[in-house]
Amino acid sequence: MPRIVRQKIEFEGRIEERDVVIEGDDLPVWGATETLAIVGTRVPRVDGGDRVSGRARYTADLDPPGLLHAAVLRSPHAHARITKFDADAAERAPGVRLVLSAANAPRIPWYNGKSWLFDPELRYAGDEVAVVVADTAAQARDALDLIEVEYEPLPQVLTIDAALAPNAVLVHAEGNVLGGPEQYERGDVEAGFREADATVEMHADTPDVLHHSMETHGSVVHWSGDRLTVWDSTQHIFGVRRQVAAALKIPLDHVRVMSPFMGGGFGSKNGAGKYTIIAALASRQLGRPVRLMFTRADESQAAGKRPQSAQQIRLGAKRDGTLVAIDYRGASNLGAYRAIGSPLAGPAKELYACPNVRTEVVNVFTHTAPCAAFRAPGFVEGTVALEAAVEALADKLGIDPLEFRLRNYAETDQVLGRPYSSKFLRDAYERVAKAAGWERRAPAPATAVAGHGRRRGLGMGTQIWGGAGSPPAYAEMRLNPDGTAEIRIGTQEIGTGAKTALAQIAAEVLTLPVDRVSVSLGDTDFPYAPLSAGSQTITSCGPAVRMAADEVRRHLLDAAASVLEAAPNDIRLEAGRLFVAGVPERGMTVAEVAGRMGNFALSGRGFRGANPDGVTIRTFGAQIAEVEVDLDTGEVTVLRVVACHDVGRVINPLVYASQIEGGVIQGLGMALREEHLTDPDTGTVLDLGFDSYAVPRSSVIPEIVALAVDKPDPIANNLGAKGVGEPPIIPTPAAIANAVANATGARVTSLPITPAKVLGALGRLR
Amino acid sequence: MSLESRTDSVTFTVNGRAEEVRVSPRRTLLAALREDLHLTGAKEGCGVGTCGACTVLVDGRPVLACLMLAVQAHGRSVETIEGLTRDGVLDPVQRAFIEHDAFQCGFCTPGQIMALQGLLRRQPDPSAEEIRRALDGNVCRCGAYLRIQAAALEIARTAEARRPGRPA
């Protein structure tokens, strides 16, 4: 019987209570002793052929007949009001079909009612002023120059400090702090510090960091009567559907959203963009399909970012290394509109056993581009502060930093006061320490080394994050008469290998080769699945796929029992063959049984069961970075990163390693190179693409060793798996910062760790 | 007649086939391939020559198709990712990419593969360093770099092993 259960759901570093529908009993967990033949093996991606051949069609590759193209005019001011808008010349330009703006577009609330789809008040440089739709993309872009706009510049705030200053200009009438400061306290922090034999205190700052997915944001939309089809580069087709239907005031069943292939999102594509709605309005008015894809410059200004953070942390420990106090304050620059704060304090609250903890996080609005979730939002930044302070304190006490961490190992979730479903962080520590040669680590010099030459150092970072997944998620499967199986599920393949993992899970249940199972996803005509974010795709969708396949398996056993004239309980399924227990020769293949049904497909449906009550599900991990620092130039070279993560059962070790490497590389970029720059006077964006924003490239990638604990979680879900998408980026910047400090004695906790900052910390910058 | 409304005929070979397109003078090779010839394997990642997603081969050399005008391709031979697969059979570099999991979202992959093809035409058994340098212009935000390098090295080793006078 379906029932509604209220559950604490962890998502993107935040806990919320949510009503979820549970349809019945879940399958037993694939435990540690379960022998699995396909799950846990290195299966090459099932969509590899599509991706290496150019056959994979991404949103911008779609070209429905009559397609029109759109381009966006953006605000040059950080804060301004439009006083005059004249699109006459643009409307008369060659090929132009429509110019949409606040002057003629319907007033559709946007950003949780804080603004409009086209708002005459612009709150960041890059805010949408108008959109031109034309026969070609070039014509649309040309016509942007013909739109005449007069702006009245308004007072602006760009930085955290400015936004928090007394009498600051308000971004929104409610104030510049989203929802007020977020405070947490356990124990007595002041008493803890009085007990401490040693303390450290430091600042940590991280810059705005851009996602820069290779495929920019965008949609292709097409109306057929009053029904709308949207192809979108998105991590959340059902979210886009809901937002589009709400914005256009049309029923949900009139909107179909598809995203069969998408070129990366990293959190920036978690919902509908204005571009989707604008394209839909234009398409409806013009009766033609419309494509609105961001240029790379658009992507740099208005596609979201990891928000700049300013953090302060103070730790206190006893002589034996026991942590007795953590005091943490963080601030996050959300930009103009983000509605969700950054969970910066997550690591400080939960990573280490400590009786006295106080944290405060302030999320600030400014006249800069709205931020978006970016792979482990808040936790990457918060881990830099915490883990830098931990190694500094360990060095100060003369305790090896790994030993220090083990002495303060948190056995339970101290925030919610309950156990973890599983925690194998010790295994991760042990394995990275061994693989990276941690015993070689010499304590950091007490004072910065300012000599000549190059010095090497080792540094560690620890990762804590969610990744449990949750209901609801549903899947359907059918087994065809030729023995092929098809899965349909409304999730997304954003590059993580989800399609392959889901095929493995289904193939495992039916004991079929993976190439007999096809997975179709990225379509709201398929069963509901959640957004592909929060490291939850496999942990939410995989258990439902397993259950759908299990139902098909049961039908198959019944069918075989009838054909083989045996009781269903006596039928065994092994390696694609059904036979009577104890009489292996009395059997037939899956395809033979399925073929007996005529042109009829055995069908199964599966749902995601509830998360276990009373436990916290977390992923854990550790990384060690080895760096070389040139003391004369301040240049940091990362030589090697060793990573080991506890993400439960690893479904596919090949794809797991790719996820780890990708996360480490993004973390490395953030540690050393990436910084999105806003002009401090005007608020305009200074980097408009890869020429001025330094994403990591082939030549700077170090050796990366991707290890896995690979122990199934005994209760988290029926697969024993936890998520892997976000964990690997979390500890990398912290590990690199610690390695630089270990090498030189100069601690730089302001990212990116540029040569100038290193030289400054060495006292060599004149 | 404005420059924009003028069109020129471009005849060239694309994946071994003679093609003709009529394009405005400023139309890029990338736009001609993607929109006129419907070869959408080459991607526009930046449009300004900084990411490599649009890499194709022109007369056997890697070129950023977003920076080359279609008219400049007149009389030349262009190869795109679509040309690598013959009768549905993937070429060795494509197979190596799959085996090494040398992509995640796959958006940059056609460009990576064509840049690598360009290197291999010039230098069949490149060193690891030559591979890294040849692919430095191709951004992969998912971070598949090490796997791309591993796939490329495997191809290089196979080529080296096949070279006459060398022990297999």
Give CA–CA dist A279/A274, Å, rounded: 8
Give CA–CA dist A199/A194, Å, rounded: 10
Cβ of A575 under 8 Å from any chain B Cβ?
no
Give CA–CA dist A405/A597, Å, rounded: 60
B57 and B96 in a single domain? The answer is no
Amino acid present at A237: I
Q: What is the DSSP letter of A608?
A: P
Q: Is residue B32 part of a domain?
A: yes
Q: Is residue A80 classed as helix, strand or coil in its secondary structure?
A: strand
B99 and B158 in a single domain? The answer is yes
Cis peptide before A752 (omega within 30 of 0): yes
A328 and A280 in a single domain? The answer is no
| Residue to test with chain B: of A50, A61, A214, most B Cβ within 10 A | A214
Q: Is residue A193 part of a domain?
A: no
Contact B147 A658 (CB under 8 A): yes
Give CA–CA dist A740/A669, Å, rounded: 15
B33 and B96 in a single domain? The answer is no
Query: Looking at residue A766, what is its pLDDT?
Result: 62
Query: Looking at residue B2, what is its pLDDT?
Result: 63
Contact B105 A494 (CB under 8 A): yes
Beta bridge partner(s), residue A671: none
Q: Is residue B24 part of a domain?
A: yes
Chain A residues near residue B107 by CB distance under 8 angstroms: 58, 213-215, 263-264
Cβ of A5 under 8 Å from any chain B Cβ?
no
Q: Is residue B3 part of a domain?
A: no
B106 and B59 in a single domain? The answer is no
Which of A 488-547 lie inside 8 A of B, CB atoms? 494-497
User: To which residue do tokens 């150092």 refer?
Assistant: A457
Asked whether the beta carbons of A241 and A276 are under 8 A apart, the reply is no
Contact A698 B148 (CB under 8 A): yes
Among residues B49, B83, B117, which one ends one of the domains? B83
A256 and A275 in a single domain? The answer is yes
Give CA–CA dist A215/A231, Å, rounded: 13
A464 and A476 in a single domain? The answer is no
Asked whether the beta carbons of A448 and A642 are under 8 A apart, the reply is no
Provide the percentage of residues in chain A whose pLDDT is more than 90.
94
Give CA–CA dist A502/A306, Å, rounded: 30
Amino acid present at B57: L
Q: Is residue B133 part of a domain?
A: yes
Give CA–CA dist A145/A73, Å, rounded: 9
A507 and A397 in a single domain? The answer is no
H-only helix segments in A625-688? 653-672
Contacts of residue A376, defined as CB under 8 A and 6 or more positions apart, other chains included, come to: A13, A465, A726, A727, A729, A730
Q: Which among B5, B110, B146 has CB closest to A54?
A: B110
> Mind listing the pLDDT tens digit for each residue in A247-305?
999 999 999 999 999 999 999 999 999 999 999 999 999 999 999 999 999 999 999 99
Nearest Cα of chain B lies from the Cα of A53 at a distance, in angstroms, of 6
Closest CA to A342 of A366, A309, A369, A367: A309
> Mind listing the pLDDT tens digit for each residue in A382-440?
999 999 999 999 999 999 999 999 999 999 999 999 999 999 999 999 999 999 999 99
Contact B104 A50 (CB under 8 A): no
Q: Is residue B167 part of a domain?
A: no
Please give the tally of structural domains in chain A: 3
A267 and A369 in a single domain? The answer is no
Among residues B25, B48, B83, which one ends one of the domains? B83
Chain A CA closest to residue B142: A662
Give CA–CA dist A165/A163, Å, rounded: 6
Beta bridge partner(s), residue A92: none
Q: Is residue B101 part of a domain?
A: yes
| Residue to test with chain A: of B87, B105, B138, B146, most A Cβ within 10 A | B105
Instruction: Find the mean pLDDT for residues B5-12.
Output: 92
Closest CA to A621 of A564, A671, A664, A666: A664
Contact B146 A689 (CB under 8 A): no
Instruction: Find the mean pLDDT for residues A621-644.
Output: 97
Beta bridge partner(s), residue A74: A128
Residue B149 belongs to domain with CATH number: 1.10.150.120
Query: Looking at residue A52, what is its pLDDT?
Result: 98
Nearest Cα of chain A lies from the Cα of B165 at a distance, in angstroms, of 32
Q: What's the order of all strands across the beta sheet hosting A583-589?
A: A571-574, A577-580, A583-589
Query: Looking at residue B36, what is its pLDDT?
Result: 96
Cβ of A699 under 8 Å from any chain B Cβ?
yes
| pLDDT above 50 for B80 | yes
Q: Which among B40, B47, B147 has CB closest to A296?
A: B47
| Residue to test with chain A: of B34, B46, B67, B84, most A Cβ within 10 A | B46
Chain B residues near residue A96 by CB distance under 8 angstroms: none
Residue A69 belongs to domain with CATH number: 3.90.1170.50
Instruction: Give me the total of CB pairs closer than 8 Å, taking one residue from chain A and one from chain B.
Output: 169
Q: By residue range, what is the domain housing residue B113? A: 92-162
> Mind listing the pLDDT tens digit for each residue in A347-393?
999 999 999 999 999 999 999 999 999 999 999 999 999 999 999 99
Chain A CA closest to residue B96: A52
Contact B43 A263 (CB under 8 A): yes
Q: Is residue A675 part of a domain?
A: yes
Cβ of A36 under 8 Å from any chain B Cβ?
no
Chain B residues near residue A701 by CB distance under 8 angstroms: 143, 145-146, 149
Cis peptide before A472 (omega within 30 of 0): yes
A448 and A495 in a single domain? The answer is no
Closest CA to A456 of A637, A668, A701, A634: A637
A273 and A315 in a single domain? The answer is no
Instruction: Find the mean pLDDT for residues A336-348.
Output: 95
| pLDDT above 50 for A624 | yes
A565 and A690 in a single domain? The answer is no
Which positions of A are catalytic? 726
Give CA–CA dist A701/A699, Å, rounded: 6
Beta bridge partner(s), residue A633: none
Name the pLDDT band for B164 (thresholds 50, 70, 90). low
H-only helix segments in chain B? 29-31, 92-99, 109-122, 128-134, 145-162
> Mind listing the pLDDT tens digit for each residue in A19-76?
888 888 999 999 999 999 999 999 999 999 999 999 999 999 999 999 999 999 999 9
Contact A663 B143 (CB under 8 A): yes
Contact A296 B45 (CB under 8 A): yes
Q: Is residue A48 part of a domain?
A: no
Q: Is residue A185 part of a domain?
A: no
Q: What is the DSSP letter of B36?
A: I
Closest CA to A158 of A175, A176, A173: A176
Contact A215 B140 (CB under 8 A): no
Asked whether the beta carbons of B115 and B137 are under 8 A apart, the reply is yes
B36 and B79 in a single domain? The answer is yes
Phi-psi region of A720 (alpha: psi -120 to 50; beta: other; left: phi over 0): left
Q: Which among A52, A695, A697 has CB closest to B94?
A: A52
Q: Is residue B143 part of a domain?
A: yes
Nearest Cα of chain B lies from the Cα of A760 at a distance, in angstroms, of 30
Query: Looking at residue B168, what is its pLDDT?
Result: 43
B99 and B135 in a single domain? The answer is yes
Closest CA to A608 of A537, A663, A547, A677: A547
Asked whether the beta carbons of B112 and B150 are under 8 A apart, the reply is no
A106 and A240 in a single domain? The answer is yes
Cβ of A637 under 8 Å from any chain B Cβ?
no
Instruction: Find the mean pLDDT for residues A314-318.
Output: 98
Residue A649 belongs to domain with CATH number: 3.30.365.10
Which backbone phi and psi does A436 adopt, to 5 degrees? -95, -5
Q: Go through chain A and tell me how many residues it has.
A: 766
Mean pLDDT value across chain A: 96
CB atoms within 10 A of CB A433: 20
Chain A residues near residue B135 by CB distance under 8 angstroms: 698
Chain B residues near residue A45 by CB distance under 8 angstroms: 98, 101, 103
Nearest Cα of chain B lies from the Cα of A219 at a distance, in angstroms, of 15
- Report the Cα B140 to chain-centroid distance in Å: 15
Name the pLDDT band for B162 (thresholds 50, 70, 90). confident
Contacts of residue A593, defined as CB under 8 A and 6 or more positions apart, other chains included, come to: A556, A559, A560, A563, A578
| pLDDT above 80 for A545 | yes
Chain B CA closest to residue A656: B101
Q: Is residue A82 part of a domain?
A: yes
Residue B43 belongs to domain with CATH number: 3.10.20.30
- Report the Cα A143 to chain-centroid distance in Å: 36
Nearest Cα of chain B lies from the Cα of A193 at a distance, in angstroms, of 42
Give CA–CA dist A678/A126, Å, rounded: 11
Please give the tally of structural domains in chain B: 2
Contact B113 A52 (CB under 8 A): yes
| pLDDT above 90 for B52 | yes
B16 and B79 in a single domain? The answer is yes
Query: Looking at residue B69, what is its pLDDT?
Result: 98
> Mind listing the pLDDT tens digit for each residue in B122-132?
999 999 999 99
Query: Looking at residue A764, what is its pLDDT?
Result: 78
| Residue to test with chain A: of B146, B149, B154, B155, most A Cβ within 10 A | B146
B128 and B103 in a single domain? The answer is yes
User: To which residue do tokens 């400014």 refer?
Assistant: A366
Provide the percentage of residues in chain A whose pLDDT is more than 70.
100
Name the pLDDT band for B88 (thresholds 50, 70, 90). confident
Asked whether the beta carbons of A685 and A678 are under 8 A apart, the reply is yes
A362 and A288 in a single domain? The answer is no
Q: Is residue B116 part of a domain?
A: yes
Among residues B83, B107, B137, which one ends one of the domains? B83
| pLDDT above 70 for B165 | no
Query: Looking at residue B166, what is its pLDDT?
Result: 53
Contact B106 A49 (CB under 8 A): no
Name the pLDDT band for A7 (thresholds 50, 70, 90). confident
A74 and A110 in a single domain? The answer is yes
Contact A52 B44 (CB under 8 A): no
Closest CA to A730 of A655, A671, A650: A671
| Residue to test with chain B: of A45, A47, A50, A53, most B Cβ within 10 A | A53
Token pair, residue A478, equals 């059918």
Q: Is residue A685 classed as helix, strand or coil in its secondary structure?
A: strand
A743 and A659 in a single domain? The answer is yes
Contact B43 A51 (CB under 8 A): no
Query: Looking at residue A23, what is its pLDDT?
Result: 83
| pLDDT above 60 for A489 | yes
Asked whether the beta carbons of A386 and A314 are under 8 A apart, the reply is no
Chain A CA closest to residue B108: A214
B103 and B37 in a single domain? The answer is no
B45 and B100 in a single domain? The answer is no
Give CA–CA dist B86/B35, Å, rounded: 22
Query: Looking at residue A14, what is its pLDDT?
Result: 80
Token pair, residue B27, equals 């139309």
Give CA–CA dist A525/A506, Å, rounded: 20
Q: By residue range, what is the domain housing residue A256? A: 62-154+217-293
| pLDDT above 70 for A199 | yes
- Report the Cα A656 to chain-centroid distance in Å: 15
| pLDDT above 70 for A715 | yes
Give CA–CA dist A551/B70, Å, rounded: 55
Chain B residues near residue A655 by CB distance under 8 angstroms: 101
